[in-house]
Amino acid sequence: MNRALIAILAAIVLLPLVVRPAIASEIWIFAIFGLGVNLLLGYTGLLSFGQGTFFGSAAYVAGWLLKHYAINVFFALGIGVGVGALSALVVGYLCVQRSGLYFIMLTFALNQLFYFVAYQWTSVTGGEDGMPGIPRPAILGIDFGNPVAYYVFVSVLFLASLWIMRRIVESPLGKILQAIRENEVRAEAVGYDTARFKLAAFVIGGAFSGLAGVLYAMLFGIVPLEAIGFVTSGNVVFATLIGGSGSLYGPVIGSFVFIWLSESVSTLWARWPLLLGVAFVIVVLFFRGGVVEAWSRFAAWRERKWRSSKQTG
Amino acid sequence: MSAFLGQVLNGIATGMLYALMGLGLSLVTGVLNIPNFAHGALFAIGAYLLASAANLMGNFWLALVIAPLGAALLGLAIEYLGIRRLYAAGHDYQLLFTFGLALILSEAIILVWGPVGYSHLPPPILRGGVDLGFTFYPKYRLFVMVAAGLLVLGTWLFLEKTRYGAIMRAGIENKEMVSLLGIDVHKLFTAAFALGAYLAGIAGALTAPIRGLSPGMGVDMLGIAFVVVALGGLGNLLGAIAAGLLIGVAQAIVAAHWTEASSVVIYAVMAAVLLVRPQGLFGIR
Amino acid sequence: MTQFKKRRDTLKLGALAAAGLGFPAILRAQPKEIVILGLWDQTGAFADVGPLNDRGMKMALEERGMQVLGRPIKYITRDGGTQAGTSTRRTEEAVDAEGAKFVIGPWSSGVALAVSEVAKRKKVVHLFSGGTEDISGSRCHRYSFQWAASPYTAAKTVVDNFMKANPKAKRWHLLVADYAFGWSVEKYVKEVGKTHGIEFVGSDRHPLGEREFSNYVQKAAANKPDVVAMVNFGGDAVAGAREIYNFGLTPKVPLIMTWSSGVEELVQLAPEIRENLWVGTNFYYTVDTPAAKNFVKEYQTKFKLPPGYAPSAAYSMTHMLLAGFDKAKSDDVQAVVKALEGLQMNDIVGPMRVDGATHQTLRPYFLLRCKAKSAMKHELDFGDVIATGDAPLPREYAACKDIGAF
């Protein structure tokens, strides 16, 4: 087990001692979301600014079924993953032909489209008011209404997601995606149908986003309209960049930093988005590569100092 | 029929504003090739500067001249101090940066002017409306339509007929060529961004008496500006103008028949067009 | 094998977490303090209303020296962001981490419905003022109370009295904000309108936070109505009223703001726009009750402007809650709820009574007629209260059949 994994396991155990279980759950849920986004952003080089589409759609559909048809938890999770993947298939199919700014704008526009449809379809989604009353059905006698029990559930799913994502990025598929990121033309020249692989990345990312969406709906008992909005889409991208898109664990760290800070700072100062904006600017100007890179830079600096002191000493 | 004409008129009036916003954003994305999420915030700053300047100096017209210059200066500073370092950084960081700026600017607005929305009335000679026969229409909106139209025309003339404009257009086409010709690409970028900021600022200043002022006023406009640019083609300036007018009119007509769909229709049209023609209605691939 | 491990891990984690959760409790509010949450928006569509609500609530608490039942009151606020997700989250956090058992707010009706569900789940007392009838209607439960007049009362007061003054105005065009509050008030305006033979020639919904009203107004003008009635609030109402004036509808055609915040909106409109403006509101500062006079004087001294609906609602709801504590002689949630049911008091709006069966407050609603500039005696003399009404929602409309158990 490498060090990062140990750190994560420690964090899972210690986190609920420091913050409320609900916030802790939110952090891991957002981390699952970020893992999906980073497959696109960090590994394939695709900046999708519309991941809220899949997160929100999964939340609404699964939430609807949970609320009106009392489906069980595993079915809900399956629905979430399925809806996330399916909506990503549709959106991805429409988007992967484009690149650069066009790609970003198209994902943004489609996200807005889904958002306004959700906004208008008040009979189903509740529109501006959101879809409240989402239950957390019990399984095997475990009452997930207990925030700690739900936290454990979420943590387990997070670990599973992390493991799956690790297998994906280390697989041949992962290597091809990274090759596409490095030089798409060359990848094409070598014979890969890059559009198909990009679509695959999209669908997988969508599946992860969908899983996060269902867990989110069950966590808060409500699917708010903003879950499918561009703010959610933006937040997950920003959190991933802050953590560091160049690493598997970047989105996890980013989720930590983003959610923890926004929850704690927002109770102190109503104008906290100002600080968030400043943080973004600082990250871009000085800490590109995010926390992960900053940490490795720091570690390398420490290593150098130690070595040079050994030489002089 | 007169109802329809009224809607078209209103559509052209709002469309002119959209075209102005889209023009500025198209210029920036075309020349600099960055996703500029701060464009809406510059719009808001233009509006607030107008209100403050007009209140301070008691003169709307003077304020209308000054406010967008303030926005342009801000744009200059942003490009010089920040964006300049990011041209090689990749869209994700450019996006993060401009989004961060947007947050900073809108929160700064709240800190300076407070979170309450303000009204700012048009100057006395432009208050009230005029009976055009087929519809009664506010004088100020007619003024905005004309003013925006003149600005759009002026910008287009600048870009088409002057040397500086030609350099900017060349920058959209081929930056390498431009620098090989000995032109300082850095100055080009700064000028383009400042011009874009100016256009956003004056759009905001003109809009203030119509929509009132609120700290979040830039966000909706940003979305619309993106749609205009996407439809018009990145860097295609005539396209941005045409797309802005098209969207304004489409929105007005849809609002008259299916009010709830008026927000969706813009994005639906954008998605539909981009799927068929990724370069937009008028862009060249 | 995996299941067994999960359960063991659950137990381990559970034990650790339970110990951990116990720890901060020592640092939490002293058991003597009574923690009251004001869920007021500082960001989002109602960012300007939050600070006003906060003022009103603070004033009411400070009048009592931040004490009740001989114990100190800890007043905490949270920014709900005018969003359901943020508001419910912050409410839960306040209940869990701060020990808040009494929640007042938020301002947005739609969000309040979501917060009301949290109140039911967490079993905390929840007071709210807003235009949705569902809190005392189809979504009623033992823990939430509605301070504002029922949308039926509002519609009846406004429509009946307006028609008295304008009996020939039979063609109405409605402009409605597209969420819970808008839908409720619109429904009853149409119901009551039917009894007057009013024809609704048009009815459009706009999104909350809309600023571009030109298309809606053009459509309204094309219908050639006798009256334009808006069911919206705050910035939306101001933008709508302005546009309706710009397009030449008012002052020829009267404009009704059915559920207004009063002063805060009126002060943003130029006098020309206010000519022939009729305003229905939950509170107006010239209302003639001793409590109102006191409150208005104090508020105006502190904040220069007289109070509108937002701060007054917060002020009066806080009074209600404090009266509940006094009557129950305890801060036990169930006792306070029982005390509030059937509570009668004279407050800034006049005589109020809480209907125990629906948790709806029965109280006056006001209709103002705004003055032309020449008739204004001073800068803030926007209009006079020409009618009050307190007709309660008839039984047959009441959607709250059973307020339920604890």
Q: Give the ipTM of the model, two decimals please.
A: 0.85
Give the span between the Cα atoms of B36 and A278, in whole angstroms.
17
Between A260-269, B144-153, C134-143, the lowest mean confidence (pLDDT) is in: A260-269
Reply yes or no on whether the pLDDT at C23 is more than 80. no
pLDDT of the residue at A34: 96
Average pLDDT score over chain A: 89
Rounded to the nearest angstrom, the minimum Cα separation between A142 and chain B is 42
Between A44-53, A136-145, B36-45, C391-400, the lowest mean confidence (pLDDT) is in: A136-145
Alpha-carbon torsion, ordered C159, C165, C167, C169, to 10 deg: -70
Query: In A, residues 234-273, which contact B (CB 8 Å cutoff)?
Result: 234, 237-238, 241, 245, 271, 273
Measured between CB atoms, does A133 come within 8 Å of chain B? no
Give the span between the Cα atoms of C326 and B264, in whole angstroms.
52
- Find all residues with CB under 8 Å of C128, minimum gap 6, and list them: C104, C105, C106, C112, C115, C116, C135, C144, C145, C146, C147, C317
Please give the helix or strand (H or E) that residue C54 lies within, else none: helix C49-63
**How far out from the chain centre does Cα C394 lie?**
21
Least CB–CB distance from C247: residue in B116, B138, B251 = B138
Give the pLDDT confidence of C202-261 residue by residue, as tens digits: 999 888 878 888 889 988 988 899 999 999 988 889 889 988 988 888 889 999 999 988
C246 contacts in B (CB within 8 Å)? 128-129, 138, 140-141
User: Domains of chain B: which residue ranges?
Assistant: 2-276
Q: Of C308, C315, C314, C316, which is closest to residue C383 (Cα–Cα)?
A: C308
Least CB–CB distance from C42: residue in A140, A225, A270 = A270
Measured between CB atoms, does C114 come within 8 Å of chain A? yes
Rounded to the nearest angstrom, the minimum Cα separation between B119 and chain C is 6
Please give the helix or strand (H or E) that residue C104 lies within, else none: strand C102-104
Rounded to the nearest angstrom, the minimum Cα separation between A150 and chain C is 10
Give the pLDDT confidence of C151-192 residue by residue, as tens digits: 999 999 999 999 999 999 999 999 999 888 889 899 999 999
CB distance B213 to B115 below 8 Å? no
Least CB–CB distance from A133: residue in C110, C117, C207 = C117
Give the span between the Cα atoms of C217 and B137, in whole angstroms.
11
Cis upstream peptide for A172 (omega within 30°): no
CB distance C39 to C112 below 8 Å? no
Measured between CB atoms, does C238 come within 8 Å of chain B? yes
CB distance A92 to A203 below 8 Å? yes
Q: Look at phi and psi of residue C362 and say left if phi exceeds 0, alpha if psi is from -120 to 50, else beta.
A: beta
Give the span between the Cα atoms of B259 and B255, in whole angstroms.
4
C90 contacts in A (CB within 8 Å)? 267
Give the span between the Cα atoms of B69 and B71, in whole angstroms.
5
Average pLDDT score over chain B: 87
pLDDT of the residue at B283: 65
Banded model confidence at residue C367, pLDDT cuts 50, 70, 90: very high
Measured between CB atoms, does C232 come within 8 Å of chain A? no
Reply yes or no on whether the pLDDT at C12 is more than 50. no
pLDDT of the residue at C4: 37
Interface of B with C (CB under 8 A): 3, 6-7, 10, 13-14, 110, 114-119, 121, 127-129, 131, 135-138, 140-141, 210-212, 214-217, 220, 251-252, 255-256, 259-260, 262-263
Residue at token pair 């607005």: B109
CB distance B141 to B6 below 8 Å? no
Rounded to the nearest angstrom, the minimum Cα separation between C302 and chain A is 23
Rounded to the nearest angstrom, the minimum Cα separation between B124 and chain C is 12
Beta-strand runs (E) in C156-254? 171-177, 199-206, 227-231
* Pairwise CB contact (< 8 Å): B226 & A105: yes
Measured between CB atoms, does A78 come within 8 Å of chain C? no
* Pairwise CB contact (< 8 Å): A220 & C17: no
- Find all residues with CB under 8 Å of C250, minimum gap 6, and list them: C228, C241, C244, C273, C275, C276, C277
Give the span between the Cα atoms of C273 and C284, in whole angstroms.
19
Cis upstream peptide for C307 (omega within 30°): no
CB distance C93 to A22 below 8 Å? yes
C214 contacts in B (CB within 8 Å)? 10, 13-14, 141, 210, 252
B34 contacts in A (CB within 8 Å)? 101
CB distance C286 to C384 below 8 Å? yes
Rounded to the nearest angstrom, the minimum Cα separation between B277 and chain C is 29
C54 contacts in A (CB within 8 Å)? none
Tokens of C308: 């509108």
CB-side neighbour CA atoms (13 Å) of A207: 11
Give the pLDDT confidence of B105-118 residue by residue, as tens digits: 999 998 999 877 77
Euclidean distance between the first and final Cα of chain C, in Å? 41
* Pairwise CB contact (< 8 Å): B107 & A94: no
Euclidean distance between the first and final Cα of chain B, in Å? 39
Rounded to the nearest angstrom, the minimum Cα separation between A149 and chain C is 7
C83 contacts in A (CB within 8 Å)? 224-226
State percent of chain B over pLDDT 90: 41
Looking at chain C, which residue has its C-alpha nearest residue B2? C222
Least CB–CB distance from B3: residue in C212, C222, C269 = C222
Looking at chain A, which residue has its C-alpha nearest residue C77? A267
Give the pLDDT confidence of A197-231 residue by residue, as tens digits: 999 999 999 999 999 999 999 998 899 998 999 88
| Range B2-276: architecture per CATH | Orthogonal Bundle (1.10)
Residue at token pair 């709307």: B60
pLDDT of the residue at C2: 39
CB-side neighbour CA atoms (13 Å) of B178: 21
Banded model confidence at residue A312, pLDDT cuts 50, 70, 90: low
Give the pLDDT confidence of A234-286 residue by residue, as tens digits: 999 999 998 988 889 999 999 998 998 887 787 778 788 898 899 899 888 88
C interface test, pick of B12, B21, B43, B119 with most C CB neighbours within 10 Å: B119
φ, ψ of residue C361 in degrees (nearest 5): -85, 130
Least CB–CB distance from A222: residue in C3, C85, C93 = C85
Give the span between the Cα atoms of A141 and A121, in whole angstroms.
36
Using alpha carbons only, how large is chain A's radius of gyration in Å? 20
Give all chains having 3 or more CB-to-CB distances under 8 Å with chain C: A, B
Reply yes or no on whether the pLDDT at B285 is more than 80. no
Measured between CB atoms, does A140 come within 8 Å of chain C? yes
pLDDT of the residue at C143: 95
Q: Of C405, C314, C369, which is closest to residue C38 (Cα–Cα)?
A: C314
Give the span between the Cα atoms of A265 and A276, in whole angstroms.
10
Reply yes or no on whether the pLDDT at C316 is more than 60. yes
Measured between CB atoms, does A273 come within 8 Å of chain C? yes
Alpha-carbon torsion, ordered B71, B72, B75, B76, to 10 deg: -140
Reply yes or no on whether the pLDDT at A114 is more than 90. yes
pLDDT of the residue at C14: 39
Give the pLDDT confidence of A158-169 residue by residue, as tens digits: 999 999 999 999
Residue at token pair 């004409």: B5
Give the pLDDT confidence of B48-62 residue by residue, as tens digits: 999 999 989 888 999
Give the span between the Cα atoms of A38 and A197, in whole angstroms.
15
Measured between CB atoms, does C122 come within 8 Å of chain A? no
Beta bridge partners of C144: C126
Across the range B229-256, mean pLDDT stands at: 88
* Pairwise CB contact (< 8 Å): B107 & A101: no
Measured between CB atoms, does A227 come within 8 Å of chain C? yes
Beta-strand runs (E) in B76-185? 129-131, 136-138
Tokens of B33: 């090739």
* Pairwise CB contact (< 8 Å): B255 & C215: yes
Residue at token pair 């009635």: C229
**3-state SS class at B281:** coil
* Pairwise CB contact (< 8 Å): B91 & A281: no
Average pLDDT score over chain C: 87
State percent of chain C over pLDDT 90: 58
Measured between CB atoms, does A142 come within 8 Å of chain C? yes
Query: In A, residues 78-117, which contact B (CB 8 Å cutoff)?
Result: 94, 97-98, 100-102, 104-106, 108-110, 112-113, 116-117
Please give the helix or strand (H or E) that residue C37 lies within, else none: strand C34-39
State percent of chain A over pLDDT 90: 49
* Pairwise CB contact (< 8 Å): A21 & C17: yes
Q: Residue C73 burial by CB count (10 A; 0-12/13-18/19+): exposed, middle or buried?
A: buried
pLDDT of the residue at A267: 73
Give the span between the Cα atoms of B45 and C123, in whole angstroms.
45
Across the range B8-19, mean pLDDT stands at: 92
Banded model confidence at residue C21, pLDDT cuts 50, 70, 90: very low
* Pairwise CB contact (< 8 Å): A113 & B223: no
What CATH number is given for A3-268 in this structure? 1.10.3470
Helix and strand element counts for chain A (H, E):
14, 2
CB-side neighbour CA atoms (13 Å) of A95: 31
User: Domains of chain A: which residue ranges?
Assistant: 3-268, 270-313
Query: In C, residues 185-214, which contact B (CB 8 Å cutoff)?
Result: 204-207, 209, 211-212, 214
Reply yes or no on whether the pLDDT at B151 is more than 90. yes
